[in-house]
């Protein structure tokens, strides 16, 4: 493996000194780029794009050709694990994901296999290997997974949900069934992320997109406890380097202290959390990632720069901040806007790293 030319992102996650605050964007490879839309049309559908390692590599690299980003993130989907469990995943045109065989009983949970990451999910590992080769050590590669709770919401609801009524019904009336499902998903995620690390991912992130729909006791019991188990089960050093892990719970700002106690290296923040307050609350225990509102990228250049300056000032001096959006970049953002954002982070952050 080639030596890393830009390790700002990895250093910041480990709270080591950097010359400028590193920046990348959630969903940085995606529909806001015309070159992505072209490639997706060529692939036929979304999962065909994910399952082709060369195309997944191309999509991963597209934003890096446009912007001076400090990390690449594997192009894939959080639903690869439930898909590999045989639930019949499909994406309708203009619709979210759908599962033909949702999980509604203990018998259905017990029948689920734990996928072999180098067999059923080999296409993901092959994509990681191809991307690492093509990056040639320019920036680190981030691997990722959905959290067990978030994956379970799709598996039980049969797709996206606004009310989460089916999974909450299971949580309150058949908690043993849900815990059995979350245990199986936790085992699957540990194997999946460790395989990504062995294949070449230099950092991993767990997306807990729907943890914020839970009450505080339920969040700790049904989401955070399982993410903590994953953190404990991950490979933390590979090729002589620490492999940092970031946990991101959308709408999880009230639980920062608990998340910091899992042993993760960094916490992802959405835009509803104040950066200065977050740093005060977690002290020097973990790095922070975030947290500009993605909708700011609709704003004029001067407003984007002002917001970048405000968030940098909120974090203040020293390392331990990875600049990002508070969630994924919107698909109708003008591609010139991320350029303003990325350049502003690098230019305006240097004074905090003297």
Residue 264 within a domain? yes
Bridge partners, residue 141, by sequence: 72
15 known member of a binding site? no
Torsion of CA 263, 265, 271, 275, to 10 degrees: 100
- On whether 27 is known to bind a ligand per the annotation, the reply is yes
d(CA 153, CA 332): 27
Q: How many domains does the chain have?
A: 1
Sheet containing strand 245-249, strands side by side: 72-73, 141-146, 203-208, 245-249, 266-268, 287-292, 321-325
19 found inside a domain? yes
Model pLDDT, residue 2: 53
Q: Is 80 annotated as a binding residue?
A: no
Model pLDDT, residue 56: 98
Residues of 236-271 as b/e, b for ≥16 C-beta within 10 angstroms? Answer: eeeeebebbbbbbbbbbbebbebbbebebbbbbbbb
Tens of each residue's pLDDT in the chain, 354 residues: 458 999 999 999 999 999 999 999 999 999 999 999 999 999 988 999 999 999 999 999 999 999 999 999 999 999 999 999 999 999 876 778 999 999 999 999 999 999 999 999 999 999 999 999 999 999 999 999 999 999 999 999 999 999 999 999 999 999 999 999 999 999 999 999 999 999 999 999 999 999 999 999 999 999 999 999 999 999 999 999 999 999 999 999 999 999 999 999 999 999 999 999 999 999 889 999 999 999 999 999 999 999 999 999 999 999 999 999 999 999 999 999 999 999 999 999 999 999
Q: Is 44 annotated as a binding residue?
A: no
Q: Alpha-carbon distance 283 to 270, whole Å?
A: 18
* Token duo for residue 5: 């030319």
310 is in an annotated binding site: no
289 is in an annotated binding site: no
Range of the domain at 214: 8-353
What DSSP designation does 86 have?
T
Is 183 annotated to bind ligand? no
The answer to whether residue 123 is domain-embedded is: yes
Give φ, ψ of 331 to 5 degrees: -75, -15
* Residue 2 belongs to some domain of the structure: no
Q: Is 123 annotated for ligand binding?
A: no
327 among annotated binding-site residues: yes
Whole-structure pTM value: 0.97
Catalytically active residues are 27, 31, 40, 77, 154
- Residue 291 has φ and ψ, to the nearest 5°, of -155, 45
Q: What is the CATH number of the domain that holds 337?
A: 3.20.20.210
> Considering the domain boundaries, does residue 150 fall inside one?
yes
Query: Does 118 reside within a domain?
Result: yes
Decide if 223 is inside a domain. Answer: yes
Instruction: Evaluate whether residue 54 is within a structural domain.
Output: yes
Cβ atoms of residues 352 and 317 within 8 Å: yes
How confident is the model at residue 91, as a pLDDT? 87
Bridge partners, 238 (sequence order): 241
Nearest one of 123, 174, 181 to 151, comparing CA atoms: 181
Q: What is the pLDDT of residues 129-161, one digit of tens each?
A: 999 999 999 999 999 999 999 999 999 999 999
């Amino acid at each position: 493996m080639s030596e890393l030319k830009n390790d700002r992102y990895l250093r910041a996650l480990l709270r080591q000194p950097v010359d400028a605050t590193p920046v990348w964007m959630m969903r940085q490879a995606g529909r806001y780029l015309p070159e992505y839309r072209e490639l997706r049309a060529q692939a036929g559908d979304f999962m065909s794009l994910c399952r082709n390692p060369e195309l997944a590599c191309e999509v991963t690299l597209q934003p890096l050709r446009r912007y001076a980003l400090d990390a690449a993130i594997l192009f894939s989907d959080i639903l690869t694990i439930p898909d590999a469990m045989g639930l019949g995943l499909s994406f309708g045109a203009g619709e979210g994901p759908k599962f033909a065989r949702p999980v509604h009983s203990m018998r259905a949970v017990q029948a689920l296999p734990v996928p072999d990451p180098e067999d059923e999910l080999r296409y993901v590992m092959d994509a990681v290997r191809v991307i690492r080769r093509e990056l040639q050590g320019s920036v680190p590669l981030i691997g990722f997974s959905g959290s067990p709770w978030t994956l379970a919401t799709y598996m039980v609801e049969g797709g996206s949900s606004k009310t989460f009524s089916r999974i909450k019904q299971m949580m309150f009336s058949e908690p043993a069934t849900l815990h059995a499902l979350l245990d199986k998903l936790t085992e699957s995620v540990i194997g999946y992320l460790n395989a990504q690390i062995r294949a070449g991912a230099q950092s991993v992130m767990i997306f807990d997109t729907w943890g914020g729909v839970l009450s505080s006791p339920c969040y700790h019991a049904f989401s955070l406890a399982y993410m903590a188990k994953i953190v404990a089960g991950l490979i933390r050093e590979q090729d002589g380097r620490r492999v940092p892990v970031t946990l991101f719970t959308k709408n999880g700002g009230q639980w920062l202290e608990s998340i910091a106690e899992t042993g993760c290296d960094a916490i992802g923040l959405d835009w509803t959390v104040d950066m200065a307050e977050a740093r005060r609350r977690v002290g020097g225990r973990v790095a922070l990632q975030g947290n500009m509102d993605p909708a700011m990228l609709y704003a004029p250049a001067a407003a984007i720069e002002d917001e970048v300056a405000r968030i940098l000032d909120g974090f203040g001096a020293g390392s331990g901040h990875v600049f990002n959006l508070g969630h994924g970049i919107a698909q109708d953002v003008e591609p010139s806007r991320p350029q303003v954002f990325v350049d502003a982070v690098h230019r305006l952050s240097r004074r905090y790293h003297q």
